[in-house]
Amino acid sequence: MTPENTSTTPGAEIESLRARLQQAEQGQVPARDAAALDRKLLLSVLEDEQRANQERDAAQARLEEILSGIDQVIWSVDLKAGKMLYMNRATEAVYGRPVQAFFDDPQLWMKVVHPEDLEIAREAERKARAEGSAEAELRIVRPDGEVRWTQISATLVRDADGGPLRLDGLVSDITERKESEEQTQRYNEQLRLAFMRTVEVAMNLSEMRDPYTAGHERRVAEIAVAIGAEMGFDAPRQEGLRVAGYLHDVGKISIPAELLSKPGKLSPVEFSLIKGHAEQGFEVLKNVEFPWPVAQVALQHHERVDGSGYPRGLKGEEILLEARIMAVADVMEAMSSHRPYRVGLGIPAALAEIERGRGTAYDADAADACLRLFRDRHFTIPA
């Protein structure tokens, strides 16, 4: 025979005892047995409570063990009482201070913030209270003076009435990531500078072929950048205008030097050779992977919106906007400066030409931006 299973859970045993005591109160059990039942019930309740406490303590210990293995600071602040409710052991690794220090001084977390980042920390706290959550990157200062970067996040917890109850959050040490980002930024800046130096070398080689217009490319670039900024170009696009300005005449390296510096009038054949510098510039630049349309600007900077330009007679928006801007800048610089075949005509004459050709030879928006620059903003062509 299979023995009867008489095991019961602690809760079931207590309920059974309570039922038998109820029977005793109704006179169904002798008084002597009722007293024994009462004692047994009391012991069972105490044992059950002890067991529950042990299980709770074990669960708390397991939770603490899990949290102690996390390298992020986990924290909770009682907003009503203005005191720290919880911080895990990662506090010591990140802040270099014992957890108890933050319980002793609830404002310590703000006091350890780098002075230059205090407003960032205050704004993050204000945002968390007002909007329910906030994140910020800020520096902290450890007791030994070491500065570390941290990322802090905070979430607002409300009470039953919707009022602010506490702030819960995380703090991560992101120093290594920030240092890596700064190193990458420095490397990128070095690459950018090296790139611009290379572009300047190419520009200088072009100027060596045409010493009488030395500085033309640089001045055109500065005018083009100023026009682009006036038209709302962002910084990267302005940088593209600068590079295109430096290189827009690089095709002149294919033109005989005596033609570039000839003081008299050019013959049709000679002028045809000069005009070839736009396509030659495109051939030189077309295989370079610029982040901007530098080769196309070199090809199109002598095109005109009415189709009267060269080398392909493009019209209107067939011409890149950067090339339309370069055309205006090129005319401004060329007419204002001295050339082997004439003296400089000056800025007023150049502006008059831009105004005359606005909307026909030159893009209307680029022309207007140029006119505003020189007449309203008193822009001057760099020496």
Domain extents in the chain: 10-55, 73-173, 180-375
Q: What whole-number percentage of the chain has pLDDT above 70? A: 76
At CA 199, angle to CA 328 and CA 266, rounded to 5? 50
pLDDT band at 26 (very low <50, low <70, confident <90, very high): low
Number of H helices and E strands in the chain, helices first, is: 16, 5
Quick one: tokens of 170? Answer: 């995380």
Specify the 3-state DSSP secondary structure of 359: coil
pLDDT band at 214 (very low <50, low <70, confident <90, very high): low
Region 217-225: mean pLDDT is 94
- The CATH number of domain 180-375, selected from 1.10.8.640, 3.40.50.720, 1.10.3210.10, 3.40.50.2300: 1.10.3210.10
Q: Is the pLDDT reported for residue 220 higher than 90?
A: yes
pLDDT given for residue 200 in this prediction: 76
* pTM for this prediction: 0.58
pLDDT in tens, 328-361: 999 999 888 866 555 668 899 999 999 999 999 9
pLDDT given for residue 57 in this prediction: 63
pLDDT band at 383 (very low <50, low <70, confident <90, very high): confident
In 3D space, the residue among 137, 254, 161 whose CA is nearest the CA of residue 206 turns out to be: 254
DSSP 328: H
Give CA–CA dist 172/91, Å, rounded.
Answer: 10
DSSP 2: P
Is 271:302 a contact under the CB 8 Å cutoff?
A: no
User: C-alpha distances in angstroms, 115 versus 111, 121, 147, 168?
Assistant: 9, 10, 11, 24
pLDDT given for residue 49 in this prediction: 65
pLDDT given for residue 254 in this prediction: 79
Q: Is the pLDDT reported for residue 2 higher than 50?
A: no
Report for 42-46, 50-54, 69-73, 358-362: range of highest mean pLDDT: 358-362
pLDDT band at 116 (very low <50, low <70, confident <90, very high): very high
pLDDT given for residue 6 in this prediction: 44
pLDDT band at 4 (very low <50, low <70, confident <90, very high): very low
Region 110-125: mean pLDDT is 95
As a whole number, the mean pLDDT across the chain is: 83
**Domain 73-173 belongs to what architecture?**
2-Layer Sandwich (3.30)
Position 245, amino acid? G
pLDDT given for residue 5 in this prediction: 44
Region 153-180: mean pLDDT is 92
Give CA–CA dist 279/311, Å, rounded.
Answer: 7
Quick one: tokens of 79? Answer: 């907003």
pLDDT given for residue 175 in this prediction: 94
pLDDT in tens, 32-46: 555 565 566 556 655
Task: Give the residue with greater pLDDT, 365 vs 190.
Answer: 365
Tell me how far the alpha carbon of residue 168 is from its chain's centroid.
Answer: 26
Give CA–CA dist 80/312, Å, rounded.
Answer: 75
Task: Give the residue with greater pLDDT, 327 vs 160.
Answer: 327
In 3D space, the residue among 248, 366, 370 whose CA is nearest the CA of residue 316 turns out to be: 366
pLDDT given for residue 324 in this prediction: 98
- With both helix axes pointing from N to C terminus, report the angle between 235-247 and 175-209 in degrees, rounded to the nearest 10: 30
Task: Give the residue with greater pLDDT, 54 vs 294.
Answer: 294
